[in-house]
Amino acid sequence: MAIPFIKEFEPQYGELVRVSPLISRIVARNPGPFTFRGTGVYIVGHDEVAVIDPGPVLPEHLEALKRALAGRRVTHTLVTHCHSDHSPAA
């Protein structure tokens, strides 16, 4: 049985979206065949956070990350793999 691919996802690029009490997401504006609507960057925690797959080096994305992380201490940066859409902003 195949799992259906849900295509109804229109992110607000650069906007921090809370997906659970401890997890927020920012989507970079780099849509494509491998990134779908854009690379999802996950921030886990509150005052002290881990950043998962910081994303690409795009000026607007870096500014969004800075805003999202202002006043927080990044204790961990996790990179799931080294592709240009996941790791350069680390």
Query: What one-character-per-residue DSSP string does 4-67 give?
Result: P--------TT--EEEETTEEEEE-S--BTTTBT--EEEEEESSEEEEE------HHHHHHHHH
* pLDDT score at 59: 97
The domain of 74 spans 17-78
Q: Could you tell me the pTM of the whole model?
A: 0.90
Residues sharing a CB contact under 8 Å with residue 21, sequence separation 6 or more, in sequence order: none
Tell me which of 22 and 1 has the higher pLDDT.
Answer: 22
pLDDT at 7: 85
Question: Is residue 62 one of the residues assigned to a domain?
Answer: yes
39: its two tokens:
């690379």
CA atoms within 13 A on the CB side of 59: 0
Number of domains in the chain: 1
pLDDT of residue 86: 87
Query: How does DSSP classify residue 84?
Result: T
Classify residue 5: in a domain, yes or no. no
